[in-house]
Amino acid sequence: MGKVTGPSPAAARQKFARDVAVNVLANLIAAAVIYLLAVTGRYIAANPIAVVSAVILLLCGGSGLWMAHTGHVDGVATRRSIRAKRRRARERIRQSRRLDRASK
């Protein structure tokens, strides 16, 4: 029987949780946009607290979605990516030292 490959159950749960959080945030941002458009079009009366909340949600939530989309923030994966960067940097240093020794 062959070895099963793919993400570990913990990684799969983490990815699912992240995807759900991104989806919820995207829906909240869509609701904020619709609310602000309705207020701007004078279809509904403006509630100052709701308007400020919608604007803050757009600013903070939009940047959060952007970071999640571009991969700048990924929870535990961020730590993994930092470790991977360090590992690659150490490997480049080792390779550079090997080339220096070989050229002498």
Residue 85: per-residue pLDDT? 82
Q: How many structural domains does the chain have? A: 2
Which string of DSSP letters, residue by residue, matches 68-90?
A: HHHTS--THHHHHHHHHHHHHHH
Residue 17: per-residue pLDDT? 84
Q: How far apart are CA 64 and CA 62, in angstroms?
A: 5
59-82 pLDDT, tens per residue?
888 877 777 666 655 455 566 677
Low-confidence ranges of the chain (pLDDT < 70): 1-7, 68-80
CB 27 within 8 Å of CB 56: no
Residue 16: per-residue pLDDT? 87
Looking at the fold, whether 56 and 102 belong to one and the same domain comes out as: no
Host domain of residue 89: 75-104
Looking at the fold, whether 8 and 52 belong to one and the same domain comes out as: yes
Residue 52: per-residue pLDDT? 94
Residue 67: per-residue pLDDT? 72
Burial class (CB in 10 A: 0-12, 13-18, 19+), 28: middle
